Structure formats: C-alpha cells, structure tokens
Amino acid sequence: MTQKGSMKPVKKNKAEEPELEPLCCCEYIDRNGEKNHVAACLCDCQDLDEGCDRWITGKSVPPETCERIMDTISDRLRIPGLRGAQKVNISILPPLILLPVFLRVASWHFLLGVVVLTSLPVLALWYYYLTHRRKEQTLFFLSLGLFSLGYMYYVFLQEVVPKGRVGPTQLALLTCGLFLILLALYRAKKNPGYLRNPASSDRSLGSSQTESLSRDGQEKTRGLPGAESAGSLSNRTPKDDLKGPCRVSAGSPAKVKEDWCAKCQLVRPARAWHCRICGICVRRMDHHCVWINSCVGESNHQAFILALSIFLLTSVYGITLTLDTICRDRSVFTALFYCPGVYADYSSALSFTCVWYSVIITAGMAYIFLIQLINISYNVTEREVQQALRQKTGRRLLYGLIVDTGQLLGSYTFL
C-alpha cells in the first residue's frame, strides 16, 4: 500500500511537467499570460486589421485603437534569447534607423540639408512634448544621444581621418573625450537620490531578530524602576515610531500636507520632490532629464554637470578638426557658413552635414549647461524655478535666463 501511495505523487509530477517546460529561444509569455512565438508576431491582431481597414477606406482611426496597436507591437517585438525571447523597447529603434537615413539624404544637396536639419529638432521637440504630456518614460532620447555619439565618431573615422589632416594625438584626445562622456553618463544614470519608505526597511527584520531585541531590552530593564514603561517603549512597532514625527508636526498641518507624499507614503525632506515619470521621490530634485532617462538629484547632479561639460569640449574639438579638414585655410566660424565646393564630394558633404547636426545638438546642450550654472549660482533647482513661474511668485531677469524665485534657501550642497 505504501508503494502504491508513493507512486501517486510521481504521476502527479509527470502530469505537471508540460507546464514547467522552459521556453525555447523564440518563445515568450505575452501580456495575456499565454505562451507565444516570435514567428507569430503578425497573427491574430484584430486591432491592426481594423486599423488597416479604416485607413484603406479613408476613415479615421480612433486614438484608443492606435494605443492598442502600439501596445501589441511593443509586446511582440522581441529578439531570441537564452531564456526565451526578450522584449525590445520600441522607442530605441527610430534613432537607429532614421538618423543615418536623414543625414545621408541631407548630404545630397544644400536645400535638402536645410530642410532635414530644420525638421529634426522640430520632430524631437514634438516627441518630447508628446511623451511629457503622457507622463511616461521613453528611451528615445537616450538612444538618440548614444547613437549620435557613435555615428558621429564613425563618420569621423571613415570620412575625416583618411584625408590625412588629423594626427594620432588629436584622434587620441577625441577618443578619450568620447570615453569620458560615456563614463560620466554612466555615473549620472545611477541613483539620483531616491527616497525609500523607512517602514519597508523596518519590515525586513525577521521575527527572531525582533524577539531577541525585545528580550535583551527586558533583561536590561528588569529590577529597575519604570521597567514596565521602558519595556512598553522597547516593544513599539515601526509603525509607532513613524507616528512620532507626525505628532510633533501636527501643529502645522499645512506644512505636513505640503511635505507628505501620498504615493511614496513618506514625509519628504527639504527640497525633495516626487517625480511623476519615475514614480518615486528624489532628494533635492532638479529635473527629470530625458537624455539619461532618469532624474537629476542630489546624488548625480555633479556627474550630470560633468557629462555636459565634457560633451561640450569634445564636440567643439571634433567640429574644429572636421572643418579644418574639409574646409582648409578658413577659420572655423567662416567655414561653418561658407565652404565652397563642399557638396562636390559626397564624403565632404556628409562630413559637413554631420558638423551642422553636431552644432545643433551642441547648442542645445550649451543652453542646458548655462541654465544649470545659473541655477547653481542662485542656489535654486530647475523644479523650484518652474514652480515659482507656475505660481507667479517669480520674476524673469536677463531676458528670461535668470528667474528670481523670491525664496531664501540654505547653502547649496552641489560642491
């Protein structure tokens, strides 16, 4: 009987084996919790069929249908992996595909270059306001920034260096600057100073540790006057400890309401703020930077400023080397606006187009760097500036570059 009884669990395990089978390299679990295959990425998509039918017949596609189509595409866009097909963020792909195409088309003719280089910032700003309004994270700008660095360096090696005007030392300096940019970006991408709920860390203590702590407290206070009250204090739960500051600040309910974060369930320290995109509070939050897909706060502000400064120096140096190669015997500023015969050679035209693309990106980063330096010198953060402008408590100075928030803040701890 015991042998027969022991055989039943074995049969049960064999019956459950098909449910625990590992995924092959092309299989994945979709958003509905079902097993799917990469080869079936275009099958059973009613929203896509409906959208195509409405588009062919000239009818408008509802926004809800477009969102469902994008969700389906982002869920089915995967690459094979060791533990099943891995999901690919769809916002990474447009810069990898469109940027080389646009720059090469712009190098065909001067007028095409003007149209393309003018439309690229407009499209980037449109996509920024679209994602900013929906309060969602995107890897588009991080992918655009990293791929722009790599592609500009690739064009420099393929089109500029072979002309013989760039020496080994200059190439080594440019390469070193590129690696320093990536290192600073990696440091800026780390924790900006997230605030965690202290109750969650207190709950991580095991029951045995809590019992031993309370037992030690009772032994130390045994035989002393007021031991019962001390024991009751040692037996307080973490929730009781969290209620202490709330009782102390109960006299100023407006201040508590302002500093209390209902989403993170904690009292924010001074100058901290909740990021609606990251979904967490950040110490001395400056702003959410789409170029690093993270917040800029107390812990990574220095790395962010360092990345901007190294990028500006490296970009200006690369632009100077390129213009000195394709437009000889001319100053950098003159060659940027007047370089005759540059479109006669496709290699020179592509290099000149990439120079202007780099100038546009560098000008935007220089503006951000200038605003950051002004805010640091006036001991304000970008969030405090925008809040003062929304509440109409600040005033603009020096053509809008400086904003007087009207607040007296403590010493700035940037350095």
Phi-psi region of 327 (alpha: psi -120 to 50; beta: other; left: phi over 0): beta
For 235, the 3-state DSSP assignment is: coil
Decide: residue 100, CB within 10 A, 0-12 exposed, 13-18 middle, 19+ buried. Answer: middle
Q: Which of 325, 354, 315, 320 is nearest to 162 (CA)?
A: 325
Is 289 among the residues known to form the active site?
yes
The alpha-helical segments, DSSP class H, found in 45-109 are: 46-56, 63-76, 93-106
Count of Cβ atoms closer than 10 Å to residue 349 Cβ: 22
How many Cα atoms are found within 13 Å in the side-chain-facing hemisphere of 233? 8
Q: Which of 52, 66, 278, 289 is catalytic?
A: 289
- 247 contacts 267 by C-beta, under 8 angstroms: no
**H helices within 77-197, ranges in order?**
93-106, 110-134, 140-155, 168-188
Where are the extended beta strands (E) located within 216-337?
260-261, 266-267, 273-275, 280-282, 287-289, 294-296
Question: Is-contact 366 312, C-beta < 8 A?
Answer: yes
Burial of 351 (0-12, 13-18, 19+ CB in 10 A): buried
Sign of CA dihedral 161, 165, 169, 170: negative
Taken in order 369, 390, 279, 283, the sign of the CA dihedral is positive
According to DSSP, the β-strands at 266-267 and 294-296 are: unpaired
Helix (H) or strand (E) holding 60, with range, is none
Judge contact between 107 and 350, C-beta under 8 A. Answer: yes
Catalytic residues: 289
